[in-house]
Structures are given as C-alpha cells and as structure tokens.
C-alpha cells in the first residue's frame, strides 16, 4: 500500500511515520508513506500556496493550482483508490473506515490549512472528505498521521500478532475489555480470578460481558450502531 500525503508543513511528519509499527511496515515493504511539499508544485518564485478569499472573509485560502499540479503529477504515475481531504466538516474517521482503507493499494491525503482550500478542488479533485473529530486543528497534518497509523497497522503482517488488531476497541462497535498482566496481585489489587482459571470459553464470555458493560457505560452510542 502507498499513501501520498500533500502538505505545506512536511516537517511535521518527522518522527510520526518513522517509528514503531509504521516504520516496521515500511521496512517490510508492506506500506510506503511519501510526504510531498505542496510548495514544490507552485508556479511563482515565492512558492505561494494561499491567497485572500473572494467575498472579504478573514483568513487565507489554499490556492487551486498547486494542489491540482500535485494531484495531477501523482495520478500520472499510478491509479488511486481515494483522494482524501482532511476537513473538520468531513465524514468522521472510524475503525470501519480504517478497515476498508487498509485494503486499498494507493491513496492521496491532502492536508487542509488556513481557512481551507478553494472549493473547486473539493468539487472536482477530492473523492472523500474525512474528519478525525468535531474540533479544529492548525492543519490537517496530525489528522493525516492519525489516519495513516490506523490504516497501516491493519495491513496483514504490520503487527506481529494479527489477532491483536482484530480485538482492538471499535472493531465490533464495542470497547475493548480490561486487560491485565503480571503480577497477579499488587498492593492488594487483584487480577480477576476468571483470567487465571485457564478456562478459555469462560474467559471469552467474561471479556464479551466486560466489553458490553464498558461500552454501555462509556460509549452507548456505539451500541446504537451495532444494533
């Protein structure tokens, strides 16, 4: 899988895509994450990427031409499953969306900035708009990194134990059950006896019960989606 990220602040990705699971997935050849500086696709000597909006609104708007140049350049080299724009008013990113995108071959993520992008880009070049939550960030770089991490970790082989990803929160619209490790007792705080019983069927039932209880208590909206 290849993820091309277009950004006006490519330095923000230093470290985010070069460690942990993302690093290992790239070293294994399972994923390739390429960061593109939007200023490399500008047409003026000042490498300008924004301008004042028509209509007199405060703030700046990302120019259409550099973005079109960047996306067109990438499309000349390969076919993309999606051209994604990170936007506060996009579809909220979730685990099912990450699952779907992990099966794609190539995607582009355009990081929003300033007051947004010239709307004609959204009308003619973008195939999917995605938000990571109902809040506004300085730019879409963090959102793009979040998406890349959530997607790549689901690619078979990216995680040593693939079953681990399948038991993550939100995979079944349920929060994950509590987890424990050694020691079995610490300062009088004990691990639930069922987890030490060795009876896997009963342990699985307990985990499901705990997941249901935690979801009902903390995120009842997920149960509405499940049923």
Q: What pLDDT, in 10s, does the model give residues 82-133? A: 999 999 899 999 999 999 999 999 999 999 998 899 999 999 999 999 999 9
- For residue 222, the number of C-alpha atoms closer than 13 Å in the C-beta half-sphere is 20
Whether residues 46 and 126 fall in one domain: yes
Quick one: tokens of 123?
């009308």
Q: Is residue 4 within 8 Å of 106, Cβ to Cβ? A: yes
Count: domains in the chain: 2
Whether residues 136 and 36 fall in one domain: yes
Whether residues 113 and 196 fall in one domain: no
Whether residues 140 and 189 fall in one domain: no
Whether residues 147 and 77 fall in one domain: yes
Q: Minimal CA–CA distance to 16: which of 35, 42, 43, 41?
A: 35
Q: Is residue 163 part of a domain?
A: no
Q: Is residue 164 part of a domain?
A: no
Say how far apart CA 187 and CA 42 lie, in whole Å. Answer: 62
Which residues span the domain enclosing 25? 2-152
pLDDT given for residue 136 in this prediction: 87
pLDDT given for residue 141 in this prediction: 97
Q: 49 Cβ partners below 8 Å, 6+ apart? A: 8, 38, 39, 42, 62, 63, 66, 113
Q: Is residue 158 part of a domain?
A: no
Say how far apart CA 48 and CA 66 lie, in whole Å. Answer: 9
pTM: predicted TM-score of the whole model, two decimal places: 0.89
Whether residues 117 and 199 fall in one domain: no
Res. 74 pLDDT band, cuts 50 70 90: very high
Q: Is residue 166 part of a domain?
A: no
Whether residues 130 and 70 fall in one domain: yes
What's the distance, CA 88 to chain centroid? 14
Whether residues 90 and 198 fall in one domain: no
Say how far apart CA 110 and CA 117 lie, in whole Å. Answer: 10
Q: Is residue 167 part of a domain?
A: no
Whether residues 112 and 18 fall in one domain: yes
Q: Is residue 10 within 8 Å of 16, Cβ to Cβ? A: no
Whether residues 193 and 136 fall in one domain: no
């Amino acid at each position: 899988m290849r993820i091309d990220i277009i950004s006006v602040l490519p330095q923000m990705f230093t470290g985010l895509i070069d460690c942990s699971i993302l690093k290992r997935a790239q070293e294994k050849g399972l994923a390739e994450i390429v960061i593109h500086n939007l200023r490399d696709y500008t047409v003026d000597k000042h490498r300008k990427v924004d301008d004042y909006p028509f209509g007199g609104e405060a703030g700046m708007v990302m120019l259409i031409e550099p973005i079109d140049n960047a996306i067109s350049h990438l499309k000349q080299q390969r076919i993309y499953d999606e051209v994604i724009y990170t936007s506060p008013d996009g579809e909220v990113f979730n685990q099912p969306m990450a699952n779907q995108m992990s099966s794609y071959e190539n995607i582009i993520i355009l990081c929003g900035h300033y007051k947004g992008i010239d709307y004609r880009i959204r009308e003619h070049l973008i195939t999917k708009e995605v938000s990571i939550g109902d809040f506004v960030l300085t730019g879409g770089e963090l959102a793009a990194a979040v998406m890349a991490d959530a997607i790549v970790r689901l690619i078979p082989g990216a995680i040593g134990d693939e079953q681990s990803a399948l038991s993550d929160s939100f995979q079944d619209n349920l929060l994950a059950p509590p987890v424990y490790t050694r020691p079995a007792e610490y300062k009088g705080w004990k691990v639930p006896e069922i987890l030490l019983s060795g009876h896997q069927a009963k342990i699985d039932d307990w985990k499901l019960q705990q997941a249901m209880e935690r979801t009902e208590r903390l995120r009842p909206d997920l149960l509405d989606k499940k049923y």
